[in-house]
Structure 1
């Protein structure tokens, strides 16, 4: 197994660093899956058992000037590594103004992602900084746990309001309850509700719009045309898990969507030009 990549463009380096920082806010540990064309950050939380799930996909050509990898075999040409994204994020933050950054899979005292960067200097002597981020290599027998999740058969799909606005609302509601009820319909309406014995608070969003896949029942996962556009689907979630998702966003997305499986799961999708992030939050009774 071999992996090495090189980033020269500072804008690409900073963008990659922001993506990793976003991942680090969402989970303490995740799997970095390397293939010839893509990098994936995966958290295969058992949503059915109350865990969150995450799938973040990056096209390597949009970030790396050089990218070489050899998987476990020609038939299974990929590498799966368990990483602590916060360690990776810290290492990348220290080299943000570098002339170049090299990332390589190495074996020191344990397997590592070694990040080496040449930093600008006033003298003619180059200054190279190296960070070793420990990783665990995941055996092929466990790879099936880290495949792309299927889009659930959702009841409602809706665009989210600006994430900063949503975060401000959720931050305030978190002081009132540990749980939040999300309601939405195919008419572009969304409600966030807190209901306790002492207080009931609802925030209304209108004219959000619905993604085009929600208009065609023949597409996988799309809601059925038989559903009344006014009908609300709902899911009650742990507000801290939603807040964690909103706090983590370092990438300014071009689109953000929410798919609701009634009383089952909230599937959040954030799209940037070259990054897609899916986040699954299970509903609670």
Structure 2
């Protein structure tokens, strides 16, 4: 197996760093999947067991000037590895004013992702800062554990308000309860609700808009429903806040899909990055 890539555009450095910083806020460890044309950051905790799940997809051509990959075989030209997202984020912070950034798979006592950052220098000799990030290469027989999640057969799909606004609301609610009810309808309305024995608080959002999903059939069951009818899901407020507070990608749109009483599915859309995040309902 071989992998090496190079990046020289400062805008690409900064954007890639923001993506990795976001991943590191969402999870301590994740799986990095490399293919010839894409990178994937995957967290596949079992939603059925109460864990969150994440799928982040990047087109390598929008970030890297050079990208070479030789996977486990000609038939399966991919590499899967586990890594600590925080370590990669920390390594990229040194690339703020870099002339170039090189990433490659190496073997230094153990498999590593080696990040080499070439920094500006007043002399003719360039300064290179190198970070070796240990990884665990995942064997081919386990790859099926990391399939792309399917969009759930949701009851409501709605665009979210600005994430910063929503984060500020949820942060205040966190002081009142450990759980939050997120509800929305097909009329572009969404509510965030806290209900305890001592207090009941609701924040209302209107005119958010509902995405059209075309012919995929996900909303077939909603056609005859009153658009005012609310569908809801009760979630751990810390998991929701972790998602809202970690975003540095500056997405153009964020879609929220609700499966009534079961799961909430977020999709962040950027021109060259998409991130999906699943939070299961709290029983």
TM-score, normalising length from structure 1?
Answer: 0.97
Match of residue 134 from structure 1: 134
C-alpha deviation, 1:227, in angstroms: 2.1
Q: Aligned partners of 1:220, 1:67: CA distance in 2, in Å?
A: 37
Paired residues for 1:204-215 under 5 Å: 204-213=204-213
| RMSD, aligned CA | 0.8
Match of residue 26 from structure 1: 26
Aligned partner (choices 270, 273, 281) of residue 271 of structure 2: 273
- Determine if contact 2:257/2:266 at 8 Å carries over to the other structure: yes
TM-score, normalising length from structure 2?
Answer: 0.98
Match of residue 263 from structure 1: 261
Match of residue 120 from structure 1: 120
Deviates more, 1:226-235 or 1:29-38: 226-235
C-alpha deviation, 1:223, in angstroms: 4.7
Paired residues for 1:232-247 under 5 Å: 232-247=230-245
Q: Aligned partners of 2:2, 2:226: CA distance in 1, in Å?
A: 53
Match of residue 253 from structure 1: 251
Q: Residue by residue, what CA displacement relative to the aligned partner does 1:13-54 show, whole Å, maximum 9, x if unpaired? A: 110011000000000110000001100000011111100000
Structure 2: gaps (5+ residues): none
Q: Aligned partners of 2:190, 2:246: CA distance in 1, in Å?
A: 22
Q: How many residues align?
A: 282
Q: Aligned partners of 1:40, 1:174: CA distance in 2, in Å?
A: 31
- Determine if contact 1:270/1:277 at 8 Å carries over to the other structure: yes
Q: Aligned partners of 1:186, 1:5: CA distance in 2, in Å?
A: 45
Structure 1: gaps (5+ residues): none
Off by >3 Å, runs of 4+ in structure 1: none
Q: Aligned partners of 1:253, 1:223: CA distance in 2, in Å?
A: 28
